[in-house]
Amino acid sequence: MLFADSGLSDASISVLLAIWSFTAVVFEVPSGAIADRFSRRSSLVAAGVLQAVAHAAWVLFPSFWGFAVGFVLWGLGGTLTSGAFEALLYDGLAANGDEEQYGRLNARVDTIELISQVPVAVMATALFSYGGYELAGWVSVVMCLLSSVIALRFPEPPRESEEHESYFATLRAGLRASVPIKRAVIAVALVYAIDAFEEYFTLLAQDWQVPTVWVPLATIGVPLLGAAGASLGGRLPFRGWVLFASGVALIAAAVLAVPMAIVLLGLFYGLYRFVLVQIETELQHRIESDARATVTSVAAIGSEFVAFAVYGLWVLGSAVAVGVLILVVALVIWRR
């Protein structure tokens, strides 16, 4: 909404999101190898700092180029988090022989992440009412820095590769480890890319005649349903048709295009999050190399290429076209 209210068109916003994805494409795998070779915890700390600077750039320079610089910095921070967090969590459990608990813990992390959007939405409404985008932006800077402080307290189990392998050796090991589990890597890439559409939820609410000041509260149920789906993802078995059903729900919401369609948008997101948790968990169980963050980053970089299609489809056909893409991905996952 900040971009739209700063005078940017839908096409310009999609270009910004594409810059975000391009940054991830360039740095995703190298940053995963950095986390594997040196420190996954330090990667998370650096990510928070970079994202804080990104938000500051948006506040200080609210223009296309200011937003572009912010997205590059945010993209760099995102690549440092992607893979490093999952690897830190899985290996921390494996150090105690509890790796089978990864699925439930990963689901719990996703659930908390989504539920936290509820108080954030209330806070965003209050901040926007009192200080507009500027106040909300500076509070975002503080929150990113706080995430770095919290990351400093994460325990990190030692790994043999830290002492015996160079950076490029770690990178090669991660790329080699991706080959025998390529189907799981591709599945995660295809499904995770759909989450790029989440960036358009607020724009959808605006298009569906929800006043700007009420958009955070109007869409508050979407992350709640996403949290419900994620929590079930750690408890129920995978079903291939669930992702297909999520695409149908999104298409129905886009066709209705009224405020009440946000309910269907939430249903889509809940079903999608259910599938995402299950596929991410399956990938982590299949990785047998110390280069866990690098392998996860390989899946993430694949998702960024598919995300370009999501951004393009938004410009060409809006949410209906994205829904059709989800149906295609669901059929591929279901069959394979």
Structure tokens at 79: 């690549």
Q: Please tell me the number of Cα atoms within 13 Å of 204 on its side-chain side.
A: 30
C-alpha closest to that of 188 among 329, 25, 28, 89: 329
* pLDDT tops 80 at residue 52: yes
Helices 262-286 and 84-94: crossing angle, nearest 10°?
50
C-alpha closest to that of 271 among 190, 204, 326: 326
* pLDDT tops 60 at residue 162: no
Return d(Cα 21, Cα 16) in angstroms, integer.
9
Contact by Cβ (8 Å): 267, 227: no
Return d(Cα 133, Cα 120) in angstroms, integer.
14
The class that CATH gives domain 2-335 is mainly alpha
CA dihedral 13, 219, 44, 271 (to 10 degrees): -100
Question: What pLDDT does 166 receive?
Answer: 66
- Cβ-based neighbours of 256, under 8 Å, separated by 6 or more: 264
Question: What pLDDT does 248 receive?
Answer: 95
**Which carries the bigger pLDDT value, residue 236 or residue 226?**
226
Q: What is the pLDDT of residues 171-188, one digit of tens each?
A: 676 677 677 788 888 888
* pLDDT tops 60 at residue 164: no
Domains of the chain, by residue range, sit at: 2-335
* pLDDT tops 70 at residue 160: no
**Mean pLDDT computed over 45-67:** 93
Alpha-helical segments (H) within the chain? 2-5, 10-37, 40-60, 64-81, 84-94, 102-115, 117-151, 161-164, 167-178, 182-193, 201-207, 215-218, 221-233, 241-256, 262-286, 292-335
Question: What pLDDT does 336 receive?
Answer: 67
Q: What is the pLDDT of residues 195-212, one digit of tens each?
A: 888 878 888 888 888 887
For the chain, give the percent of residues with pLDDT over 90: 23
* pLDDT tops 90 at residue 4: no
- Cβ-based neighbours of 307, under 8 Å, separated by 6 or more: 17, 21, 193, 196
Return d(Cα 221, Cα 266) in angstroms, integer.
6
Q: What is the pLDDT of residues 260-303, one digit of tens each?
A: 888 999 999 999 999 999 888 888 888 877 777 788 878 887 88
CA dihedral 126, 215, 199, 76 (to 10 degrees): -10
